[in-house]
Amino acid sequence: MDTKYDLHSHSYYSDGDLSPEQLVIKAAEAQISHLALTDHDTVEGLNEARLAASKHGVELINGVELSCTWENQLVHIVGLNISSSDPLLRAIIEQNKRRRLNRAEAMFEDFEQNGIELRDSVQELLVDRCVPTRPHFAEALINQGYAKDKKQAFKRFLVRGKPGYIPMLWPNLNEVGKAIVASGGVAVLAHPMRYKLTRTKLCRLIADMVSAGIKGMEISTASTDRQQVIMLSKLAEQFNLYSSLGSDFHSEHQPWARLGQAAPLPKTLTPVWEAFN
């Protein structure tokens, strides 16, 4: 059978819309043979995803997308083929969940100071899932008529200088890299184009992450064009990185990131799954 990989996706255990099982069913429909569930700062969905995957003929790769701070900037590191029970990884995940809960509290207060009460509507969206994300706040803002869509919510609120923005200090590259490696996983830099770094700065980030044991980078995503794939492929070769691909699927309402949408990796690269054992 042909293989098709999508190594970056979200369920409703973080900021996705679908349950892990619904996600796996969508993957099977999209002829994805290997799917990684990579929720933000949680591994809560992996068991459900694994059960569903064996039922629907999909190979599930355990994943997580960890928030990380590098040079005062938020970067996302995806851990693939992790063991979700590793104590060091669990500790980092628990820390980030705690940070998210504290941030949510500070966000509620900041919104209140701006005359906006979001507590109930955010709590309603989260039910008993414990990873509050900015998209949950965006949805609550839309539901209450403060924004017409997520794009507008992330323009008027939730970003630097706007109501609801709380600066965060996440763990650094070394902490994150170490925890993923300790769990037997491979760490990759998520969506490198998203940070809008100069080439010099991107090279510095890559050098720093390699020192932290982060050995891969996403080359193909739903939003990278051919030129960007070529540019990133050169960097992957130059720094001897494993290459990953993933759609970063969150929701059927985001047609710009459909499940399975990332183009296949250039054949000259070393795919990250060669590092899975």
Q: Which stretch binds ligand AMP (CB under 6 A): 28-36, 127-135, 198-206, 220-228?
A: 127-135
Six token digits for residue 75:
């970067």
Q: Shortest distance, CB of residue 192 to Mn ion, whole angstroms?
A: 11
Q: Are strands 34-37 and 216-221 parallel, antiparallel or unpaired?
A: unpaired
Residue carrying structure tokens 């992996």: 46
Using rule CB under 6 A, residue 133 touches ligand AMP: yes
Q: Which candidate, 100, 98, 106, 104, places its Cα nearest to that of 121? A: 104
Nearer of residues 135 and 163 to Mn ion, judged by Cβ:
135
Check binding of 218 to Mn ion (CB under 5 A): no
CB 104, min distance to ligand AMP, A = 9
Between 11 and 40, how does the x/- string for binding to ligand AMP read (CB under 6 A)? ----x------------------------x
Pick out residues in 197-256 that bind ligand AMP (CB under 6 A).
250
Would you say 88 and 66 are in contact if contact means Cβ atoms under 8 Å apart? no
Pick the closest to residue 108 from 85, 76, 138, 137 (CA basis).
137
> Which lies closer to Mn ion via its Cβ, residue 65 or residue 86?
65
The verdict on 15 binding Mn ion (CB under 5 A) reads: yes
Q: Which long-range contacts (CB under 8 A, 24 or more apart) does 202-210 make?
A: 202/235, 203/235, 205/70, 205/71, 205/75, 206/235, 206/239, 206/241, 207/239, 208/70, 208/173, 209/70, 209/77, 209/173, 209/177, 210/239, 210/241
Alpha carbons 35 and 3: distance in angstroms, whole number = 11
The span of 19-27, 128-136, 197-205, 224-232 binding ligand AMP (CB under 6 A) equals 128-136
- Chain centroid to Cα 268, Å, comes to 26
195 binds ligand AMP (CB under 6 A): no
- Shortest Cβ 3–Mn ion spacing (Å): 22
Taking CB within 5 to 8 Å according to partner kind, which of Mn ion, ligand AMP, none is near residue 89? none
Interatomic CA distance for residues 177 and 171, integer angstroms: 10
- Our CB check for ligand AMP shows the closer of 233 and 244 to be 244
Write down the residue that tokens 């925890």 correspond to: 179
**Which residue's CB is nearer to ligand AMP, number 42 or number 233?**
42
Q: Does 50 bind Mn ion (CB under 5 A)?
A: no
Angle (CA) 199-202-206 rounded to 5° is 135
Contact window for ligand AMP (CB under 6 A) among 30-38, 44-52, 148-156, 221-229: 148-156
Q: Return residues touching ligand AMP (CB under 6 A).
A: 15, 40, 67, 133-135, 150-151, 154, 250
Q: Return residues touching Mn ion (CB under 5 A).
A: 15, 65, 76, 190, 248
